[in-house]
Amino acid sequence: MGKLSVVGLGPGNTEGMTAQARQTLEEAELLCGYGVYIDLIHPLYPDKKVYITPMRGEIERCRYALEQAASGVKVALVCSGDAGVYGMASPVLELAGEYPEVEVDIIPGVTAALSGAALLGAPLGHDFCVISLSDLLTPGEVIEKRLRLAAQADFVICLYNPASHHRPDALKKACEVLLRVKAPETVCGLARQIGREGERVRILTLAQLREADCDMFTTAFIGSTQTRDQGGRLVTPRGYRG
């Protein structure tokens, strides 16, 4: 029986990996993933075979990993952050039915919502949601509706993919939707290049966030009505006191 493990590596450094992720890579015979993730882990296992996948062609990548596993190779397909949160676990499991001889394991990891939050303080101390602003696979009106309802629900909101080359103003547009419900003084945060060279965080208001520069390596946090800037740390209390 073949085996394919989809492994979340956590933020972009080996310190963020779990022991379970390390053990899974150790046991794998073939490491698959984008170049930047293979660059991170291959030095740990220089003798292992690697397969660097192109940025697009996700389905082909999953099929390649499943086919290798079906041929009896122990395969680890690596993702940054968590394996499941906008990760490869979902497309792999969608295809796995065609490869009944392959056992698929999902190894979770620290996603950017958690690692970015830790750098900023404790913005996720109460109920929160995670929304991707990428409109590649999701209609813009679905994204906008979720933003509006998330603001009405007073969730802390964590935004993935706040910008890309073809959507430089995605974050600005999202902030405009949120500002129809939320106060411009709402406390927000940005975390960039988490766990990598150039890591930095910034606390700012929602009005400032609308004008902020960001890129595809940024995760944005929009506070609930309870979130505060507590001496330079973003904090959402665990309870409501009044």
CB of 195 to a second copy, least distance (A): 9
Residue closer to a second copy, measured from CB, 140 or 207: 140
The candidate with the shortest Cα–Cα distance to 207, out of 192, 187, 236, 225, is: 187
Q: Between 106 and 187, whose beta carbon lies closer to a second copy?
A: 106
- Least distance (Å) from a second copy to the CB of residue 201? 12
| Residues written for the chain | 242
Residue closer to a second copy by CB (options 84, 210) is 84
Q: Which amino acid is at 118?
A: A
- Asked if residue 105 lies in contact with residue 6, where contact means CB atoms within 8 angstroms, the answer is yes
Q: Which is nearer to a second copy, 2 or 123 (CB)?
A: 123
Integer Cα distance of 130 and 96 in angstroms = 26
**How far from the centroid of its chain's Cα atoms is residue 48's Cα?**
26
Q: Which of 67, 3, 55 is nearest to 29 (CA)?
A: 3
Could you tell me the end-to-end alpha-carbon distance of the chain, in angstroms, rounded to an integer?
58
Smallest gap from residue 238 Cβ to a second copy (A): 5
Question: Taking the complex as a whole, how short is the minimal distance between the CB of residue 16 and a second copy, in angstroms?
Answer: 6
Q: CA–CA separation, 131 vs 153, rounded Å?
A: 14
Q: How far is the CB of 178 from a second copy (least distance, A)?
A: 13
